[in-house]
Structure 1
């Protein structure tokens, strides 16, 4: 009847039976410059072993290969000073890459960072973009900006309409069932 052993849905190789075998496979993928494998190796180093310098190396390599989530991890490291010297400029650079990559939460954090740096116009633009994607916290912040006179009525109304449209577009019977 054939092989009944479970296989990877992508490469069809048998799923590793031991953690050591899985670690060898991950290392092999990382050595082959697979950015996802490098990101996962970095996460393992940081979150399981507490080795932020090794995580930084893996995430830097993965980011150079275009992995957006690796940029996200680097932004967190630089903004918090976790395992590296705190560097707001580098943190914002990586956060911008993640935001451009389409990560709504990263764009929201970028908006908050710009607000802390008193770049209110840039912060509002980021909030409008992410509100258009249906991000709830951003519409709340835009409402505060509107009340403070930082956003005009038309901009706020347009963002509110776009936010609502995005929320409606995301509704589906499957999501409702999962929520329950």
Structure 2
């Protein structure tokens, strides 16, 4: 009876070419060649940002779920039927951001030294700043938080405040506005 040991197998070799092509905002294709195993059929493990995407037997591979406005790192490793892996070969791919952030929602005010607050906007880049104004053309400032303090307001005066979300590439959401006091609510104080 013959006894074979898997310890005699060599470690799989990494691919000698790994690159992307046909880059679009919502997909990218990859091609590779090389990568060998010592026994059995070579398989490949493809990860995006350290998360397993697929284990194809041959190229090409198409990723249809990248996020816009981000750099993704794609790595490939050769592996054999005993799950012995080669060293990874990686490439970084930047996906253009073509989508504006979602509009801020539930914008409200409170008292004469008031705080504007809203629910967080979403953008695929994961980075948003908010532009605060007291009427179009009257910028108050910016923040990465979902609230902004406003002071020095006058009694018996109606104000309009706006919030616009902006991503790092300059895409802007629609301007969301709120009035203080709310429209239809009479002023308190002097008559």
TM score, norm. by length of structure 1:
0.24
| Greater relative CO, 1 or 2 (CA 8 Å, sep 6+) | 2
Calculate the TM-score normalised by the size of structure 2.
0.23
Higher strand share: 2
Which structure has more helix as a fraction of its residues? 1
**Which has the higher Rg, Structure 1 or Structure 2?**
2
